[in-house]
Chain A
Amino acid sequence: DAGITQSPRHKVTETGTPVTLRCHQTENHRYMYWYRQDPGHGLRLIHYSYGVKDTDKGEVSDGYSVSRSKTEDFLLTLESATSSQTSVYFCAISSGTGNYGYTFGSGTRLTVV
């Protein structure tokens, strides 16, 4: 989507290696989120950020860490990738509480072999 980009779009990695996914926004929105999408589960929140250096855990945060050193960038790191982390990862941004809506990136398809 315009204003939010994810990189890489596709990645294959080996079990046990660290992986970092990047979300970049040009909207200057305060809130940023990382979700994972798996069949039968919809989207589940991994971590979110409510400002620079302000982050918190979502419902499926084990095995993941995040960092936000600038407003525009939100990084998701898989510290030691496992096959259960094979998924499609979406970043989202929001300017405020729920009524402002969320804009989603195009996703990163990660395969852990």
Chain B
Amino acid sequence: AQSVTQLDSQVPVFEEAPVELRCNYSSSVSVYLFWYVQYPNQGLQLLLKYLSGSTLVKGINGFEAEFNKSQTSFHLRKPSVHISDTAEYFCAVSVINDYKLSFGAGTTVTVRA
């Protein structure tokens, strides 16, 4: 079975500073990888996904993530954050040809002025 570990539970960051959220996964077979964002009192929204091809994936709101197969990682980055990026971020994995999604525990990002 696959699993996901998000290495930071909370990340405080100042506005306009860069941020990186770390995600490692474990799977014996090939996977698809996702990052979701959850704003307070809302559902989850897809930020970006890696299916195949280029290991650098660009998503919405200026986020990007890099898939590293040798390190089994899928870290999320944004070069300059805004107050509105304050949210909880979830890394998720799905085994190819499966239809279930497994989530990490989440990383809370708090952006301060």
Contact = CB atoms under 8 A, between A and B. Distances in A.
B77 to A, nearest CB: 20
Contact of A45 (B43, B95, B97, B100): B100
Contact of A90 (B34, B43, B102): B43
Give the size category of B's interface with A: 20 to 34
Interface stretch (B13-21, B44-52, B63-71): B44-52
Contacts of A84: none
Interface in A18-57: 31, 33, 35, 40-45, 48, 50
A34 to B, nearest CB: 12
Interface string B77-113: 0000000000000100011111111111110000000
A44 B105 CA distance: 9
A101 interface: yes
Contact of A99 (B32, B42, B45, B100): B32
Interface residues of A, number: 26
A101 B46 CA distance: 8
Q: Which of A42, A50, A90, A101 has the most CB of B within 10 A?
A: A42
A113 B94 CA distance: 35
